[in-house]
A and B are shown apart, each in its own frame.
Chain A
Amino acid sequence: DAGVIQSPRHEVTEMGQEVTLRCKPISGHDYLFWYRQTMMRGLELLIYFNNNVPIDDSGMPEDRFSAKMPNASFSTLKIQPSEPRDSAVYFCASRGTGSGNQPQHFGDGTRLSIL
Chain B
Amino acid sequence: AQTVTQSQPEMSVQEAETVTLSCTYDTSENNYYLFWYKQPPSRQMILVIRQEAYKQQNATENRFSVNFQKAAKSFSLKISDSQLGDTAMYFCAFLNYGGSQGNLIFGKGTKLSVKP
A residues with a Cβ closer than 8 A to B are 31, 33, 42-43, 45, 48, 55-56, 89, 91, 93, 97, 100-101, 103-106, 108-109, 111
B residues with a Cβ closer than 8 A to A are 31, 33, 35, 37, 42-47, 50, 52, 91, 95, 97-98, 100-104, 106-109
A67 to chain B, nearest CB (A): 14
Task: Say yes or no: B100 contacts A43, CB within 8 Å.
Answer: no
Task: Say yes or no: B97 contacts A101, CB within 8 Å.
Answer: yes
B38 to chain A, nearest CB (A): 11
The chain A residue sitting closest to B91, CB to CB, is A43
CA distance A43 to B73 in the complex (A): 21
Given the contacts A42-B109, A43-B91, A109-B43, A104 and B102 also touching, CB distance less than 8 Å: no
Given the contacts A42-B106, A42-B109, A48-B103, A101 and B33 also touching, CB distance less than 8 Å: yes
